[in-house]
Amino acid sequence: MGEPLAWSSLRTKSIAPSPALSGVGVTRLRPGAGLNPAFAGNVAPNLSAPKGTLALQGGEEVRLASGRLSVHEKIVEPGEKFIVHKTRNYVVVAVEPSEIDISMLDESQIQILDQNDPYLEKIKLVRDIVAKGARKIIVIGCTDCGKTSLTTITFNTMLANGLKPIVIDSDVGQADIGPPGFITMGSSNKQIYWLTELQPLEMKFIGDIKPQLYSQTIIYETKLLVEKALRSNYDAVVIDTDGWVRDEQGIQHKLMLIEKVKPDVVFVLGDELKGIFKQLVKIGVEVYELPTPIYRKARSREERRALRSLRYREFLEDASILKAKIDDVVILGHPLFLGSEVDKNILTPIIDGRVIHARYYTGTLHVYGVVKSYNLEEARKHGFEKIKAYPIGFEKGLYCSVGVVNGPEYPGVIEKIDFENREIIIRTKYTGRVEVVKLGKFKLTENYTEEYIEVVQQ
């Protein structure tokens, strides 16, 4: 891609909006609509700073009528369409004089890229380091600072250079390749607009959308996926990370990830992280500190929750029922399957109610059933310092993974744990052999929103 050129025009030709834009006040682009003053007429003047480069602040549907574009280093040919989701920003560069048709949401904006925006400098940097042989790259930065955009640019650049790259999405909270709560690696033999277009190749379950309690697990699984990718005929890896960098623990988590993965290059986005990772040059890691984009979309808590719901829905909607025998599979992640099983008969003087299943684990008696009350003094005579009660049906909707030992894991939702018939019933699209079920820390509602589990404890 050479220097960006001027747009021929922004046309008002009617095109049917994508379903992704429907129902939210879709309008047609008209002269001056949502644009800065440089676009006050039908025909754009020669653009400056830099000319021929637009910042699209979602959501829009864009169709290229003529010419050629570059979006995140993906080349767009005439007739192609793409969607700018309402929570994202795209920078569009005219590779040659071009005409585009746009449908817009009411709140969407199109602006000439500010001359101080670092987008084109990032493009040049990525091209240079890939040309010099960088094959393992980690992208670090705060929330909504452009990490995923830069990861997409890097993937597309590697592909354009004849490499076979793969992306590892280690952001368990705002996953783009796989579902939330997973680390996922994915790839494509075609350039992409966004990471969501990558085909998930392997997913590893973390079980929560908050990385703080799972730092070691995230690092371990990410390192395993990097090693597996490079053994599987992929010759370049880009790791997109979460935005946990605002405290010391978050910084240490990223430093440990870098130490274990040993990348060639680390991109650090944001002035607030300046200098923190520079010491890594001592161990042969090239560190590039980059400013955040001028045009950035700070997503609200509600928008983040809505995006996660869409990801859950993609992997779980219309899933089938899978049944597995409790005695034939390893079930991890919940104390009702850890420690030693307790004979229900010895609980008669302790528990008033109906005990279906009980386990003793780290000083606590975990009871599944109908517990009306319990005698803690009597429980302590048997070595039970605490009691936690789980009502029948509490498990319905529990987020989980299902798969095989040391192999891929796929998301699921628990329908029922039938302790009496020794069976676990899961709703999932997974159809393979079941060896391991991992239980998460929250449930999913019918609308695919998270709901954390409450437990009665004495």
Q: DSSP string covering 240-261, please?
A: E--S--SSHHHHHHHHHHHHHH
Show the DSSP H helices in 324-402 as ranges. 376-381
Return mean pLDDT, the chain.
86
Residues 367, 345: Cα–Cα separation, whole Å: 13
Asked whether residue 22 carries a pLDDT value surpassing 60, the answer given is no
Our separate counts of H helices and E strands in the chain read 6, 27
In the 8-state DSSP scheme, what is residue 156?
A: H
- The pLDDT-based confidence of 57 (bands split at 50, 70, 90) is confident
Tell me the residue type at 455: V
DSSP H or E stretch at residue 112: strand 109-112
Instruction: Indicate left, alpha or beta for 212 from its phi (over 0: left) and psi (-120 to 50: alpha).
Output: alpha
* pLDDT score of 454: 65
Q: Residue 331 corresponds to which tokens in the numbers above?
A: 């079930």
- The pLDDT-based confidence of 421 (bands split at 50, 70, 90) is very high
Residues 82, 100: Cα–Cα separation, whole Å: 11
Asked whether residue 10 carries a pLDDT value surpassing 70, the answer given is no
* pLDDT score of 5: 42
Q: Which of 79-83, 107-111, 185-189, 418-422 has the weakest average pLDDT?
A: 107-111
Asked whether residue 92 carries a pLDDT value surpassing 80, the answer given is yes
CA distances in angstroms from 408 to 82, 201, 439, 454, listed in the order given: 31, 8, 15, 30
- The pLDDT-based confidence of 214 (bands split at 50, 70, 90) is very high
* pLDDT score of 30: 30
Q: Is the pTM of this model over 0.75?
A: yes
Measured in residues, the chain has a length of: 458
- Mean pLDDT computed over 200-213: 96
Q: Regarding predicted confidence, which is higher, 58 or 183?
A: 183
